[in-house]
Structure 1
């Protein structure tokens, strides 16, 4: 059993330097600032908002992202995310969830059972999926998933299969067309604010093009988003037909990470999570140090920042190599003469920014929530599994 999970409550009131390692630390103040910023943006624009629960996967962060009932819809990548959010349904704060993967056969019985407790909407990008729905014996509200360039899931707007799918949905007794959905996850590769804005405009143009294939008398939701484009949603200037309601979805925005900082739309201080690790050994002969946070904690994700994680208070030092449980700290700034023995001591704690907070968070069974003084003020337990 994970030690931090078994004993998480005993660390409330302690400083982060007393935590077991590796640990995930959440700055609640920064979380609140990030969420409030996005809520303010969508409020000024007068558009709908649907948070994605994929990053921290806890009841506490879900409540904050929903604005305690101000917004009442979510996207969930996994069944445990839906199940975990059900207490908010009972509290009258949450009404519906999109299952965020194009629907597949083995998940339909589980989703059917959950419909008794929360409204479930589905994503489809294939006529074959409609046949699966027909076997469920129920009628489902569906969003057509389109591909706006990520080449992950969905149909391109110029694909003949898109019109075929729309026609099949119209004819189906088991599917009711509710909207068009896209996710611009490739926006993580943007490196300037202007390129992110261009991506946002492209998203909207693509969902508008898909919506144009549907009768203008039908009310339709077009759901766009990814955290980089959500950060610049205030730059939106596209006009949509009167029958179309625009909805924004995003999931990573409360925490952010080095990938988000790399897009140029937020600063490094907008990151709300850090990993706490121990310095296990120091190697002056190669100017490196060993920490107990490896690939399982930090993953092999990349950004404009070198390595697999960045030391928070030593700007020239990063996690330059990882194996399963081992991380190697090294100086990545050329022409900088900094000696590892002067900066890192065996037995001391080191704090790291991570490349991709969604992946890093998945490694932990308990999160330590801290105040501005790095005192633990609470613990959050994430929903696990699929």
Structure 2
């Protein structure tokens, strides 16, 4: 029975839905498996610990306080985060204060080159949280006035990364053009004056999203590191030689590929050995005459999705049901399985506004249906039901070709029922999550179908309320 009053907050939803079966939720519903998320976060924390590198967790995928706790881990270490919106950073303030009060230094990086409209809000957050808590990135000389204004308003400088384009071409300057319009020279002058705190070079390269093997992902991570070192070498005369310079690189497929390095040295592939040596050099050696510190960053690794699994960046990835922590529960509205169409199809009550419309190279669809909906007695069949077509609020499910398998089954009956609830794994968890205000949380290590909590998301670009 649905509640008789409007539920408005995560607390309201928590009070009403905790303990219920996922099929009892209002649908479409966004589900997050805490056990899977914990496993992914912890395995990457173990890998960076083993390799002796720093890690900066991107919060843009889940945008929750509880998810940040899992990404930060329980060790009493510095917490490094990166966020895509100032609203996310504002939302995180209570948790950041908690970390700081417990003795864990925190630094949050605003994840795009600093626009002027965000300076006031970032400076206000920095004043509340303290010196060293906020960093920004720049790739244009006009942004220098923005970081100077930040220092005036916060009464201390922001940490600053120079954004390097290592081939992805979304933001940043190429290594050979990093000093465009004397950007590096002017930046270091501001650093000498105490107006900024120069940290290092930052690259985000999602070229690995097109990978399909662990070797490719590892090669992409090594290539991104090489690009940043090229930028450092080509502009070496402009950086102070007595400073430790952080090299921050990453995207989830190539960063999670470091988990392939944890085996015995003699069992590593040539590519894995080469990457391990490159990472070791960046941590322990002098690079281009500078002491360097290596920082990896990633975000969607924490929950994964169909796109991430298609990269095969880790040697021991399981199947979609085993690994993906985010899913959408939706109802079957109707069936067309008696010759009405060229192949059997089902109509679902969820569309673009509940799944997103991010393509994936592994197959032709917009989401993959959990096998439990149609094949409980066949744990690993080649055939897959996929979301093949999407409208605004509805979609069509049929048999699809996934990773080269299943096309021969396209005319087989679809074993779904009208009114049935199915679970869909999205192509891109970041986009799908943004379409909902909260996650219904389950724990597959205990009861995978029972809601144990509700986590609120920091969606949108909320502005502070004026007094």
| TM-score with structure 2 setting the length | 0.78
1:119-155 deviations in whole A, cap 9, x for unaligned? 2111000111112333445333210011111110011
Residue of 169, 181, 189 corresponding to 2:187? 169
Q: How does 1:208-357 map to 2 (within 5 A)?
A: 208-212=229-233, 213=236, 214-233=239-258, 234=261, 235=272, 236-238=276-278, 239-240=281-282, 241-242=285-286, 243-265=291-313, 266-268=317-319, 269-284=322-337, 285-286=340-341, 287-303=344-360, 304-313=362-371, 315-332=383-400, 333-336=406-409, 339-340=412-413, 342-357=414-429
1:183-237 deviations in whole A, cap 9, x for unaligned? 1122211111111111010011112222332333211111111110111123432
RMSD, matched Cα: 2.0
| Residue of structure 2 in register with 1:9 after alignment | 15
| Residue of structure 2 in register with 1:155 after alignment | 173
- Counterparts of 1:318 and 1:104 in 2: how far apart (Å)? 40
Q: 1:4 to 1:160 in 2, by over 3 A?
A: closer
**Equivalent residues of 2:398, 2:410 under 8 A apart:** no
After TM superposition, the structure 1 stretch with the greater mean CA deviation from structure 2, 129-138 or 255-264, is 129-138
- Counterparts of 2:77 and 2:118 in 1: how far apart (Å)? 29
2:459 aligned with 1:384? yes
Q: 1:54 to 1:94 in 2, by over 3 A?
A: farther
**Equivalent residues of 1:277, 1:292 under 8 A apart:** yes
| Residue of structure 1 in register with 2:264 after alignment | none
Shift of 1:54: 0.3
- Counterparts of 1:364 and 1:71 in 2: how far apart (Å)? 31
- Counterparts of 1:9 and 1:306 in 2: how far apart (Å)? 40
**Equivalent residues of 2:17, 2:25 under 8 A apart:** yes
**Equivalent residues of 2:58, 2:83 under 8 A apart:** yes
Residue of 81, 91, 106 corresponding to 1:84? 91
2:164 aligned with 1:146? yes
Shift of 1:344: 1.2
SS at match of 1:36: helix
- Counterparts of 1:272 and 1:211 in 2: how far apart (Å)? 38
2:116 aligned with 1:105? yes
Q: How does 1:184-223 map to 2 (within 5 A)?
A: 184-212=205-233, 213=236, 214-223=239-248
Residue of 144, 148, 166 corresponding to 1:134? 148
2:139 aligned with 1:125? yes
- Counterparts of 1:23 and 1:3 in 2: how far apart (Å)? 15
Q: 1:3 to 1:72 in 2, by over 3 A?
A: closer
Shift of 1:321: 0.7
1:159-195 deviations in whole A, cap 9, x for unaligned? 2645832112012243332111011122211111111
- Give 5+ residue unaligned stretches, structure 1: none
Larger-gyration structure (1/2):
2
- Counterparts of 2:435 and 2:119 in 1: how far apart (Å)? 27
After TM superposition, the structure 1 stretch with the greater mean CA deviation from structure 2, 216-225 or 156-165, is 156-165
1:75-130 deviations in whole A, cap 9, x for unaligned? 01111211121112221245211110100111111111111123211100011111
| Residue of structure 2 in register with 1:40 after alignment | 46
**Equivalent residues of 1:50, 1:73 under 8 A apart:** yes
